[in-house]
Amino acid sequence: MFGQQQRSNILRCRVRPFMSVASQLTAFKGKYFSARAVQCSGSSVLSVFNLSPTSRSLSMSFPSSLSTAAPPAAHVIGSDAEALEVARALAGRFAEEASVRDRERRLPVAELDEFSASGLWAITVPKAYGGAGVSYVTVAEVIKLVSAADPSLGQIPQNHLGVLDILLQTGTEEQKRHYFGKALAGYRFGNAFSESKSKNAGAFQTRIRFDGEHAVLDGEKFYCTGALFAHIVPVSGVNEQNQVFIAFVERDNPGLTIIDNWDGFGQRTTASGGAVLKAVRVPSSAVIPAHRAFDEPTAHGPISQIIQAAVDTGIAHGAFEETLKHARLARPWIDSKQDFGWQDPFSIAAIGDLQWRLHGTDAILAKAGQAIDHALAEPSEASVAQASVIVAQAKVLSAQIALLASTQLFELAGTRSVLGKLNLDRYWRNARTHTLHDPARWKYHLIGNQVLNGIAPPRHAWN
């Protein structure tokens, strides 16, 4: 029996592909741990889930596919209008238990299965490869809609969508047909890009070396959003010349271990933990030269960034809707001489201030999507720089409104809004956490340097 102090215990098990996830977990009932893990030798996944040592209750959050079986066939979306229609429908369902998932840190397993099966994860696949090739105005709107319901679900596909663009820029025709086909079939790409111990966000210590017809990767990763839920995990590594490559690693690769150790106070169910690679061996045909993505003017940086801005804008919308609901129920302040909180003139003015800021952010987000679409249609130094600058503006405004709306929620809803049962603090926690992606202070510099000095932003994934 364990004491009150947290411990980590690793149980090794072999996943049986013909058993449901629920059946496989039944064997663990009656066990209780404060912090432990299950490593499944069939899929090399190290998953940490929450169990209570005092209540002896079992509460597991598990990947949807512990075996590496192909996902159910996904729907293929055919147009921008259909993508938006599907996103609105999903957002309504995702919102229903978003607060519970956050409170219990319950990983959104079923929701992600529905999300990727809907076809929304493949909407950027070009028409030439069987996809809808929707506009980035639509992509941003889809992510915003989902993030308003649950920003963890909105964030998880970010790197999946980014990888599809790198594939388009640097992959061979054979690689494009193969991996775009996987995306259309419902496969989820996670990511093992960032490293917590490297010099900066763009520096990688993970090494890739080529050995005949194979490549071998060794290293450690963190902030691996989506990897725990993925069927394929793209991994970044550098060669001896410090050139960045991305390898598409099957999740059952024996050298890949994914660790669910993300414990951030916000975006709690993104499973943005770590990954360890020990002699991960993949065919050379599963590797793309990501360093070439910026040899010529491309919109990859703005594409990566607009999704981040869309998540923050979605958080703001979710917080604003909660504010309206609770402000209408709030009691009026004693000096207002009003009968209801919604008659309070200062509350009315504050709501008006939030509304115009939110609409302004929506407008610049859409304009950023248009700038990306233009840069994709007519790539040039000027069009790509313009897209980076406008997306940076969207990033600044979305961060501001997400933090403001999630704070004003409490001011306008009143003291009862801090009650734990409401869990309204999740909006601020999510906003504060996610807006730390790519610091806004550098976006101001990027914008000002272009406007004042005519200096185009550096081309990389963070611009």
**Residue 220: both structure tokens together:** 């450690």
The reply to whether 232 and 289 lie within a common domain is: yes
Cα–Cα distance, 307 to 171 (Å, whole number) = 22
pTM of the model: 0.86
Please indicate, yes or no, if residue 123 is contained in any of the structural domains: yes
Cα–Cα distance, 277 to 407 (Å, whole number) = 40
The reply to whether 331 and 449 lie within a common domain is: yes
DSSP label at residue 58: B
pLDDT computed for residue 54 by the predictor: 28
The reply to whether 265 and 308 lie within a common domain is: no
Kindly tell me the burial class for residue 123, based on how many C-beta atoms sit within 10 Å of its own C-beta (0-12, 13-18, 19 or more).
buried
The reply to whether 402 and 430 lie within a common domain is: yes
**Residue 122: both structure tokens together:** 């493949």
DSSP label at residue 232: E
Q: What average pLDDT does this structure show over 202-221?
A: 94
Please indicate, yes or no, if residue 137 is contained in any of the structural domains: yes
pLDDT at 136 over 60: yes
The reply to whether 387 and 320 lie within a common domain is: yes
The reply to whether 321 and 291 lie within a common domain is: no
Q: What average pLDDT does this structure show over 135-152?
A: 99
pLDDT at 60 over 70: no
The reply to whether 246 and 276 lie within a common domain is: yes
Q: What share of the chain is helix, strand, coil (3-state, %, to 5)?
A: 50, 15, 40
pLDDT computed for residue 58 by the predictor: 27
Tell me the pLDDT tens digit for each residue of 242-284: 999 999 999 999 999 999 999 999 999 999 999 999 999 999 9
Listed residues 69, 94, 113: the one ending a domain: 69
The reply to whether 22 and 124 lie within a common domain is: no
Cα–Cα distance, 229 to 111 (Å, whole number) = 11
pLDDT at 51 over 80: no
Structural domain containing residue 269: 74-295
Please indicate, yes or no, if residue 258 is contained in any of the structural domains: yes
Please indicate, yes or no, if residue 186 is contained in any of the structural domains: yes
Q: What average pLDDT does this structure show over 200-206?
A: 87
Listed residues 48, 69, 90: the one ending a domain: 69
pLDDT computed for residue 317 by the predictor: 99
Secondary structure (3-state) at 317: helix
pLDDT computed for residue 68 by the predictor: 53
Could you tell me how many residues make up the chain?
A: 463
Question: Which carries the bigger pLDDT value, residue 80 or residue 342?
Answer: 80
Q: What average pLDDT does this structure show over 364-392?
A: 98
Tell me the pLDDT tens digit for each residue of 26-42: 333 332 222 323 333 33
Share of the chain above pLDDT 70, in %: 85
Q: What average pLDDT does this structure show over 21-27?
A: 33
pLDDT computed for residue 70 by the predictor: 75
